[in-house]
Chains A and B, each alone.
Chain A
């Protein structure tokens, strides 16, 4: 009896047996793993969440939210088991296509009456249906468990559906990329390495170029979005990172549809990239399988052009990594000499890598010197990259967008300014920690661009000490096309004050710069709650007074009016602060804000006086019995006395001393005579320039005056002499080293 005569039942039975034999292992292996990874944590986290909630008497609202977060963590958008899914994708690809590495298996399969296209389609269908089946079963079980705890609402359902689709796409992308690597390789080991290469090299290369921006470009901030395309691994990592941050910083207890959709919109592009990578890999698989021949078994990489491309890319990736590593070791490139060394090191790394790649591809140590043309090509590309970066041929350091393309912009003072830290603000901010990054949206982009041009010019000129030439800032452009561009600029000390006043005196700047305008932090709800909020005014004598019963809202209102009235570049630059108000909130999210108070902030000072937090300067000075004056520049600098130097010369010398590079000899003198103390203090000003500081045009930075209150041993406050106001007896007393 031939099989043509078999009954339908017999045929089904026969096929069932074959199918179960050939695919059983995947169920046996994969199902328990996926089950343990998704179901067990779901159950354990539900138990833990319920117990924790009961122990801490959580509100019903919070308890529900915590349960919803369990669903999000296991099968929802916050699930981060991408590595497992990716590994399974690779495993399936190797299971389905490993016959390509064995002549006997290949002879068996290729001699069967089917086409290669049908064979590949069948392998795809079996792998995808197998995994999809397992994954959907597990998600369904986890979902049912979640439903029994009452954690499921529409938002959670949408989150689970989106994540299920994303996981399946990610699996498919990894499976197809691994399949492509298998199709292009002749041995299992090389295919495995090649899979890792295809999955990782876009991310590695993107990171290296990002690091190169930081190494070579003076205006690079490191905050720019790193360009990594067609890299599902990076996409998955980015999505996981986003939700990891949310998981730990969110205290909103809201899980509704708009929140899910808003979050998804932010991550949508990663999914698109994942899908694109999968599509391109699929097309390549379709192209390659048609050209794959039985005789390719045992080769390393079967096509010469692919082999060359792989070698060149590996050489480039390794050499660029070498430069990044060298830069890390040397901290930063600070001289032309180091650039030359880096360039040579890069070429040598390329040469050695090229040899090693040949050894690996030929599995023969004698092949070290083979493939010189590809190595030379890699070296040429590396040199091109090096010169593009070194010569800034793409104009990175001079790029300023046209104002018409900018939606809004911000200028963030990164070194100085108002202290700010708020957990909640970190939730969606993956760039600069601080208030301005999130809140400043300047519509006067023309002024921003003018300042940015000056700032970039200054940054390009700058050697290594940013403070020698101006104020270090970051300009952020929110482009109309959705991109966000960051540049590090140095606003020169000689910037046009009118331009700066126009920019910094605007309500948009003030509200985006000074954290008293954070409506989330200083909301009615927050200020009227029973939360533990500490209010402290630190006066310039160092005395701080903390109070928990201060009506903060009243102070914030007064302070807001003061800054709106006074704050601008020229005001801050000319005035020294008298102290700062520190507001700390410990719960539910930790927050910290420092707000500087100036003499002209009458409403704020009035408030502080009303609550006994403000100390009059006169009473402070009356208590001084002793004063110390310190001269850091006794010796002349290149035969010129410090005082005779130009403003720029003073600045350069000051920072060379300040950072401990140069020592010009010093002297100290202590004054106890009340008359001398009065004369010194009459010619001094409190050196508390919060922003736009380093007033070399207003102060004598050669001397510093230290005051110890007789009632205070701990705090030592520093004053500076006003320009050209150093008393003669001070100059004489401190003229020689002691």
Chain B
């Protein structure tokens, strides 16, 4: 388990990480979302032991990570701009990492690169940005570490490769309990892969919740009430997060379990009633608007 308790990190006058507390449980896919400068990379680099926090605790499996090689053996960090040795090939890098990480699986790497159509004998500096990303992800997956920290990893990947990578993640999670921590500025990237999402803004955690919990506890309803009296009856006592009205069509996001919501709406008469599936984006908009943020401005662009 990765645990951050009241972590602070400032770069001169700028607070990059401000009282961040997170708990990343083993086996879950943790998404770290936020705008540019929200503190995602700093948080990831702190978890990877690259940055020493000014205050607070960063523990991986209850061990401090900074300057601790024993812990770092369990963590593989893929940066936004991954470094490869000059003139090296994927093969060279694999050989290098195999000398660093004792569980590095060279055979798996060879198979995966073949699967992705990457030439392991070609110099990496001749690769495209997306191909370099693929190499770094494959190296990270084959390193055999318990934790894989990915900073904006899916940027630059085409949809097919992205889907392939997601499949590999899923396989690694189920096979050996890999815990990926994925930072991205785009919610849509993480929607179908994350179990838990932490939202960072201005160095602080705005929200950190299980996606399933969020989806289970929030419903989106489209309906047409017969009268205003029916509307009042239906919504009475409900925790309405968003209420949008177009003509007579109401779109309402309400916090609560599906059965409770259905029961409540039956108190008023309706011409039309339907419960819709919530996207991650909608959940975040709803949750963050409540605490005073307009997430559309800084997540969805």
Among B67, B68, B77, B100, chain A packs the most CB atoms within 10 A around the CB of B67
**What residue in chain B is nearest A17 (Cβ atoms)?**
B95
Residues 8-26 of A, flagged 1 when their CB comes within 8 A of B and 0 if not, give 0001001101100110000
The reply to whether B144 and A2 contact each other, CB–CB distance below 8 Å, is: yes
Distance between Cα atoms of A104 and B84 in the complex (Å): 9
Chain A residues near B67 (CB-CB < 8 A): 115-116
B54 to chain A, nearest CB (A): 10
Residues from chain B with a CB closer than 8 A to the CB of A108 are 79, 82-83
Nearest B residue to A114 by beta-carbon distance? B69
A404 within 8 A of partner (CB):
no
Selected contact of B99 from candidates A11, A21, A104, A293, CB within 8 Å: A11
The yes or no answer to A111 lying at the interface (CB within 8 A) is: yes
In the complex, whether B120 has a CB less than 8 A from a CB of chain A is no
Binary A-proximity of B75-86 (CB < 8 A = 1, otherwise 0):
111010111010
Chain B residue nearest to A105 in the complex (CB): B83
CB < 8 Å neighbour of B106 from A1, A15, A107: A1
Instruction: Count contacts between A and B, CB distance < 8 Å.
Output: 90
Interface members, chain A 110-143 (any B CB < 8 Å): 110-116, 118
Most buried by B among A2, A17, A293: A2
Q: Does A738 contact B (CB under 8 A)?
A: no
Instruction: Find B85's partner among A1, A14, A15, A21 (CB 8 Å cutoff).
Output: A21
Inter-chain contacts of A1 with B (CB < 8 A):
105-107
- Considering the complex, which residues of chain A in the window 74-109 have a beta carbon less than 8 Å from any beta carbon of chain B? 102-108
| A21 adjacent to B49 (CB under 8 Å) | no
Tell me whether A14 and B95 are in contact in the complex, defined as CB-CB below 8 angstroms, given that A21-B88, A294-B50 are known contacts: yes
Q: Is B73 an interface residue (CB 8 A)?
A: yes
- Asked whether B192 is an interface residue with its Cβ less than 8 Å from the other chain, the reply is no
The listed residue (B68, B75, B99) touching A18 by CB distance below 8 A is: B99
A711 at the interface (CB under 8 A from B): no
Interface string of B47-91 (1 = CB under 8 A from A): 011111000000000000001111111011101011101011000
Residues of A within 8 A of B106 (CB): 1-3, 6
B51 near A113 (CB under 8 angstroms)?
no
- CB of A106 within 8 A of CB of B95, answer no
Q: Say whether, besides A22-B85, A116-B67, A111 and B98 are in contact (CB < 8 Å).
A: no
Whether A111 and B72, one on each chain, are in contact in the complex, defined by CB atoms closer than 8 angstroms, is yes
User: In the complex, are the beta carbons of A3 and B48 less than 8 A apart?
Assistant: no
Q: How far is the CA of A104 from the CA of B52 in the complex (A)?
A: 17
B236 to chain A, nearest CB (A): 53
Report if A295 contacts B (CB, 8 A).
yes
Q: Is the CB of A107 within 8 A of B99?
A: no
Chain A, 319-341, CB within 8 A of any chain B CB: none
Q: Is B30 an interface residue, CB under 8 A from the partner? A: no
Q: Give A311 Cβ to nearest chain B Cβ, in Å.
A: 18
In the bound complex, residues from chain A placing their C-beta under 8 Å from that of B96 are 14, 18
A393 CB–B CB distance under 8 Å: no
Is A55 among interface residues, defined by CB-CB distance under 8 A? no
CA distance A103 to B68 in the complex (A): 20
With an 8 A cutoff between CB atoms, is A4 at the interface?
yes
For A111, list chain B residues within 8 Å (CB): 48-50, 72, 75-77, 79
Given A1-B105, A18-B96, A106-B50, the answer on whether A113 and B72 have CB atoms closer than 8 Å is: yes
Bound complex: CA of A31 vs CA of B267, how far in Å?
A: 89
Residues of B contacting A17 in the complex (Cβ-Cβ under 8 angstroms): 92, 95
17 sample A-B contacts, Cβ–Cβ < 8 Å, listed by A number = A1-B106, A2-B103, A2-B105, A3-B98, A3-B104, A6-B106, A14-B96, A107-B77, A107-B79, A107-B83, A108-B83, A110-B50, A111-B72, A111-B75, A115-B68, A115-B69, A295-B51
7 tightest CB-CB pairs across the interface, nearest first? A3-B98, A113-B72, A108-B83, A111-B77, A113-B69, A110-B50, A113-B73
